[in-house]
Structure 1
Amino acid sequence: MPCSPGRTADARPAPRQTEGRMTVSNPLDPAALDAALENVHRAGVPGLFAEVRDGDRVWRGAAGVADTATGRPVTADMRHRVGSITKTFTAAAVLRQVERGTIGLDTPIGRYLPELVPGARGAAITVRMLVNHTSGLAEYLPYAYPSLKSFPDLAGTRPESLDDHRFTRFDSADLIRMGVTAPPVGAPGGTPGFYSNTNYLLLGALLERVTGTTAEHCVTRDVIEPAGLQDTELPTGPHLHGPHPRMYEAWFGMIDPPRDYSDYDMSWVGPAGALISTVADLNRFYGLLLAGEIVTPSSLAEMRRTVPVVSQEGKTIAYGLGLHPMETPGRDTFWGHGGTVWGAGALSAIRADGRRQVSVAVNLQRWSGFDASGRPRPHPIDDALAAFHRLAMYG
């Protein structure tokens, strides 16, 4: 059954005028949120947990199990791998260095890392192009994971190398070279851009070059610790510490039953997607970020300048500097990021006025098999999760 410690709901606040649009914040409805979370679990996700905030009111809930073998229940305070939500943290760390004058946002990356991005490409690709995915650099994953050679044509990939590389310690420079030497996916600065983890590994290398410390330490010192995130870390080993769910990967039905990949060396993605956090910490982080308390208001304005970018799923989205807007016609815009790694997924979003927030984590990934055309088939989880997102964001 759903577990919702520490949730509160009080009277409806007055409407607020935001960005030229009337925003009415619907009060938190604990029973409806509990039921929506339970519906996602009943649709097939072993366990999930979430936190929704509206001003100073907070609801937390959980549904399902953290371990399918033992039936251990999932709880809302668990730590979780949050995938590409890491990119917002890394982007914020880069902008902190921009504010200090150690990095130029429109400076060619070749001036900082000529050995990794040499010659004309190093002179043409700027730091900004890495942060907003308009560098034209290819994704390195198909080269690091041999069974993903047809990526992003996921129907043609196989899951075998997930087990082969569970405890492989990848060298970031090697992964970067795989992406840089692969055929480019676009011209530097061209749009639409193409989402590529190579960009964020390069940003990690850039942070190391200008600060003289590791990317993990830099993000921790400049972003995680100032934000007071007690349960958030960039790990240097394969194990999670503290209460956490097991994380089950189905790989589009090719792993049946889904297999636990919660213990995994995350050096394969590092500053692009290795973060561990909680839903409460994620909401705290994005709340502080949009309030101008992580980076300056001018840096935040840069983060919210978007360009069209083709996602790894082949959809064109608006993307800024480690942030992207989530928009529904006739509704207020939310800003944030989603993320997936093997077996784990998360989404964190905050309304543009900073008052309404949702963070949710699930312990199953790639649950849909493929249809005859090679596209993931619709699954009840998709509809149930979308319904929870709508309820959490808009009431």
Structure 2
Amino acid sequence: MRNPLDPAELSAALENVHRAGIPGLFAEVRAGDHVWRGAAGVADVATGRPVTADMRHRVGSITKTFTAAAVLQQVESGQIDLDAPIGRYLPKLVPGERGDAITVRMLINHTSGLAEYLPYAYPSLKGMPVIAETGPQSLDDHRFTRFDPAELIEMGVTAPAVSAPGGAPGVYSNTNYLLLVQLLEQVTGTTAERYITRHVIERAGLRDTAFPAGPYVKGPHSQLYEAWFGMIDPPRDYSVYDMSWVGPSASLISTVADLNRFYGMLLAGEIIGPSSLAQMQRTVPVVSQEGKTIDYGLGLHPMEGPGQGTFWGHGGTVWGGGALAMIRADGERQLAVAVNMQRWNRLDSSGTPQPHPIDDALATLYRVAMYG
């Protein structure tokens, strides 16, 4: 069979993202049995150490797909009811009428109405989503802070609601997934990290995917450069960071090869059953953290391509790092990509991120990877 992947074209697209301003990035593309891996740029701007395609990387909210899959396994085993109120399971964390009104499903698809706790945990971010009023100071203040998840949840639950439970559109909030972590721990009797590791990561045969034990990334990895909309110039390295600020909602470390393997097995029905996968792919409108309305399922969301069907996947960011993984609905084409800089767009006077050449270069990379 002819190889549908063009290595020269893919390498050029990757290199163009680096030239546009990303210090380093790496990717894996799959088309049927054909696999291409590539890297461009540096893992360390001080030493010039190059990035390589097998590096481990903080993948941010891609973790949410793993957490959602773990919850759905417990739904399959009868331990969790998707449409039961969260107050039935966690009455102390979501008390009263809200605990009765917010269901497990609303947490997974971000329609609970619970606010994002981050601007309360990181006071310099308090202007979000009006980014012009924010500053990056809290990122340094909390590099080694060990957050208590119950305290973070309380910040989100006691903050003013962003919508009514089940309202449309929903609003993306990490508070939802910290609650799902507590739910998993309650019904499984073990930590969410341990359960997800045993029943999702190991089931998928992922060898380079793990939750961090401390602030360091083990194994070969890149530094992570945070620009915070041009307010940190030059961008600062946040690769050493205590990830308790997001816990198992966004702290996973993985590789592009492992991400493609995971999403391939998920869509093939090898992590959860077909009916659970169908639930994951039932979408509702949700306002993302970037302020855009997207369709969102249960820890998965579709990305439409021109005339080539739907791709399912998730993106993720941490301070300084980003990743995206997507797979065509028929499983025949996949991309996972990791970048070592975040929030490169500068802001105008109203706080709106301005276009940057990196955006166009990434869009071209996605198009080349997914359609050739």
What is the match of residue 221 of structure 2? 244
Provide, for residues 108-153 of structure 1, a one-character-per-residue CA deviation record: whole Å limited to 9, x for no partner.
Answer: 1001000000011001100000000000000000000010111121
What is the match of residue 235 of structure 2? 258
Mapped to 1, the partners of 2:248 and 2:275 lie a distance apart of 23
What is the match of residue 176 of structure 1? 153
What is the match of residue 366 of structure 1? 343
Tell me by how many angstroms 1:217 deviates. 0.7
What is the match of residue 365 of structure 2? 388
Equivalent position to 1:86, from 56, 63, 75: 63
| Residues 1-395 of structure 1 mapped to structure 2, 5 A cutoff | 11=2, 27-395=4-372
Provide, for residues 196-235 of structure 1, a one-character-per-residue CA deviation record: whole Å limited to 9, x for no partner.
Answer: 0000000000001111111111111110011010000111
Structure 1 residue matching 2:63: 3-state secondary structure: helix
What is the match of residue 19 of structure 1? none
C-alpha contact 2:110 2:172 (8 A) present in aligned 1: yes
C-alpha contact 2:305 2:311 (8 A) present in aligned 1: no
Structure 2 residue matching 1:252: 3-state secondary structure: coil
Mapped to 1, the partners of 2:316 and 2:130 lie a distance apart of 19
Tell me by how many angstroms 1:328 deviates. 2.8
Mapped to 2, the partners of 1:267 and 1:152 lie a distance apart of 22
Mapped to 2, the partners of 1:372 and 1:144 lie a distance apart of 26
Structure 2 residue matching 1:384: 3-state secondary structure: helix
Mapped to 1, the partners of 2:306 and 2:338 lie a distance apart of 25
Mapped to 1, the partners of 2:348 and 2:122 lie a distance apart of 24
Mapped to 2, the partners of 1:221 and 1:95 lie a distance apart of 15
Provide, for residues 45-102 of structure 1, a one-character-per-residue CA deviation record: whole Å limited to 9, x for no partner.
Answer: 0000000000110000000000001000000000000011000000000001111111
Mapped to 1, the partners of 2:29 and 2:21 lie a distance apart of 22
Mapped to 1, the partners of 2:233 and 2:290 lie a distance apart of 23
Letter matched to residue 206 of structure 2: L
Provide, for residues 328-355 of structure 1, a one-character-per-residue CA deviation record: whole Å limited to 9, x for no partner.
Answer: 3423110000000100000000000001
Q: CA RMSD in A?
A: 0.8
Greater alpha carbon shift after TM alignment, 282-291 vs 381-390: 381-390
Letter matched to residue 287 of structure 2: V
Structure 1 residue matching 2:53: 3-state secondary structure: coil
Structure 2 residue matching 1:117: 3-state secondary structure: coil
Tell me by how many angstroms 1:374 deviates. 1.5
Letter matched to residue 334 of structure 1: F
Provide, for residues 182-201 of structure 1, a one-character-per-residue CA deviation record: whole Å limited to 9, x for no partner.
Answer: 00001111111000000000
Letter matched to residue 247 of structure 1: L
Letter matched to residue 157 of structure 2: V
Greater alpha carbon shift after TM alignment, 232-241 vs 28-37: 232-241
Letter matched to residue 92 of structure 2: E
C-alpha contact 2:226 2:321 (8 A) present in aligned 1: yes
Mapped to 1, the partners of 2:136 and 2:77 lie a distance apart of 43
Structure 2 residue matching 1:85: 3-state secondary structure: helix
Mapped to 1, the partners of 2:132 and 2:207 lie a distance apart of 39
Structure 1 gaps of 5+ residues are: 1-9, 13-26
